[in-house]
Amino acid sequence: MNDLDLEIAAPADFSFAATVFSHGWRRLAPFEYDDEAGVLYRAERLPIAGPAVMRMSPGGPGSVRVQVTTARSLEDADAGVVSRAVVRCLGLDRDLTGFYEAIAGEPRRKWMIDHRAGRMLASPTLWEDLVKTLATTNISWSGTMAACGRLTLLGPEIDGRRCFPTPSEISAMEVEELAEATRLGYRVPCLRALASAIHSGDLDPECWKDPALDTDEIARQILALKGFGPYAAANVLKLLGRHERLAIDSSVRERFRILINDGVKPSDSDIERCYEPFGRWRGLVMWLDVMKPHLLPNLEKAGQTT
DNA sequence: TTCCAGGGGTAGA
DNA sequence: TCTACCCATGGA
């Protein structure tokens, strides 16, 4: 095995813990989070060295430490791919200045600033985020975790871990075969159609990373995909750092009812109205509001890291 | 058995 | 635009 140690620059307002705990992706394969050690693992394919294990942890001030293990020797091109993957996963290229300005002066949201919350853990590719989002629709969270684990078994192995399968690998499988392997039920044709669209070049979700692209245009493309409705579109946009749309799901409705709405069941328009004043940051404010009881104890436990 | 998950598609009003 | 129903699967 070959090892490479990298230090990747992070913005001053970056928090490793706040990003890793931002939502449930750390629990979906090929991500794996070691709670005790505070290390985020994932297996990733590199262009020359092939499958690699990435071990991400807080680095020195203003940096993230990444240890890479591969079976073959690493080249410069591999290090570049690792670096770009880490930037995407941890949102190191996000500017949250406007968000912190939007909630400045609000005592009940001061914790978001103090703990540098706001970056969302994402997958290196939009393909993987789309698949995982599809795997959160109309299913229990344990079902989502199981499905992502099964999906990841379809990718190549490295040191006991698996890389996420590519669109070409999924599109090469028959629907029946994919259904048996993933147990994703009626979502399987949607998954395969997504994989085929990317593999054929009809869809290029990676271009959605371009900050110049209009949010509504990205939403239009996501909503055109089978199996992707308003929740799924807003969730994928959230992972792109675009928070104009609210990813309202059953858990958000329930948490909002308890935490914000005095126990009264809200309509989705009630929730929309509540966060309308926060403009382009409304989805992020909503998410952190409802996730506070889960997120804050984790951040306090993890302590202030990078 | 029945219900329902970090919903979405469709038909019919 | 709104509502009712269906969709695989698995855990409670």
Domains of chain A by start residue, with CATH: 2-114 (3.30.310), 126-239 (1.10.340.30), 250-301 (no CATH)
Query: What's the DSSP call for residue A279?
Result: G
Is the pLDDT reported for residue A97 higher than 80? Answer: yes
Is the pLDDT reported for residue A264 higher than 70? Answer: yes
Residue A61, pLDDT score = 86
- Give yes or no for a contact between A105 and A118, defined as CB atoms under 8 angstroms apart: no
The pLDDT tens digits for A123-156 are: 999 999 999 999 999 999 999 999 999 999 999 9
Q: Which nucleotide is nearest to A144 (CA to C1')?
A: B6
Query: What Å value separates CA A54 and C1' C5?
Result: 46
Element (H, E) at A192: helix A188-200
Query: What Å value separates CA A170 and C1' C4?
Result: 34
pLDDT: is A303 or A257 the higher one? A257
Is the pLDDT reported for residue A26 higher than 50? Answer: yes
Say how far apart CA A31 and CA A48 lie, in whole Å. 22
Joined together, the tokens standing for residue A293 give 């009881």
Q: Does nucleic acid strand B have an atom less than 7 angstroms from the CB of A269?
A: no
Is the pLDDT reported for residue A306 higher than 80? Answer: no
Q: Could you tell me which of A17, A2, A1 has the C-alpha nearest to residue A299?
A: A17
Residue A304, pLDDT score = 47
Neighbours of A299 (CB within 10 A): 21
Is the pLDDT reported for residue A305 higher than 60? Answer: no
Q: Does nucleic acid strand B have an atom less than 7 angstroms from the CB of A189?
A: no
As ranges, strand B nucleotides with an atom below 7 A of a protein CB are: 4-9
Q: Which nucleotide is nearest to A183 (CA to C1')?
A: C9
- Give yes or no for a contact between A100 and A13, defined as CB atoms under 8 angstroms apart: yes
A117 Cβ neighbours under 8 A, 6+ residues apart? A15, A18, A22, A111, A288, A295, A299
Q: Does nucleic acid strand B have an atom less than 7 angstroms from the CB of A136?
A: yes
- Give yes or no for a contact between A182 and A170, defined as CB atoms under 8 angstroms apart: no
pTM confidence score: 0.97
